[in-house]
Chains A and B, each alone.
Chain A
């Protein structure tokens, strides 16, 4: 079965430190991968996507993610975390012609 995993329910990082939110996938074919963020009591905002091309993709708010086919991963990263980055992050995959499948989410807390 096709799935996407986020192995950490919660990630805590100090403000100014680099952050990583992990995502691994198990899909057939070449998936399209996305990261979305959900701030408290808000909707889902698109951060970035990997469709094809460069494995390192850059997105909104200084976030980036690296697609690693051999490790079937798409980890989200930011060089210097802000307190305002605290939110729920979802890794999402999409196979062409099918629908979005959301990971379980990782709650990021950036401590001042």
Chain B
């Protein structure tokens, strides 16, 4: 069964450093998302991406964040200058069509020291 994959599973970085979180969505899916979850709490929407552009972003997704789909398979989230409060689990998700369920990857745990 196809699944969303994410790398790395755990990333530790120093405050102020840049990180790139990688995702490989399900191959025929068209809609891509990033979410974050702080310490097993509520899942917060960050950004959605469709047709090679951002379709919606939340207040969390400020100028320090960017997303890219550099080729036909990868979908990345970049944080330019990490802050302590960026420490969270980051989930990538994808879906085939608008009115369908999203499929989530296993997450990347980001720890900012």
Contact = CB atoms under 8 A, between A and B. Distances in A.
Interface in A6-65: 32, 34, 36, 38, 42-46, 49, 51
Interface size class of B (residues with CB under 8 A): 20 to 34
Interface residues of A, number: 24
A67 to B, nearest CB: 15
Interface of A: 32, 34, 36, 38, 42-46, 49, 51, 88, 90, 94, 96-105
Chain A to chain B: the 7 pairs with minimum beta-carbon distance, closest first: A44-B104, A43-B106, A102-B43, A46-B101, A43-B104, A104-B42, A43-B107
B2 interface: no
B87 interface: no
Contacts of B42: 102-105
Given A100-B33, A100-B45, A49 B101 contact: yes
A102 B45 CA distance: 8
A48 to B, nearest CB: 9
Contacts of B35: 102
Contacts of A99: 33, 45, 48, 56
Contacts of A104: 41-42
A101 B45 contact: yes
A27 to B, nearest CB: 15
A95 to B, nearest CB: 10
Contacts of A98: 56
13 contacts: A36-B104, A43-B91, A43-B107, A45-B104, A46-B101, A46-B103, A51-B99, A98-B56, A99-B56, A100-B102, A101-B45, A105-B40, A105-B41
Contact of A34 (B41, B48, B101, B105): B101
B87 to A, nearest CB: 16
B10 to A, nearest CB: 11
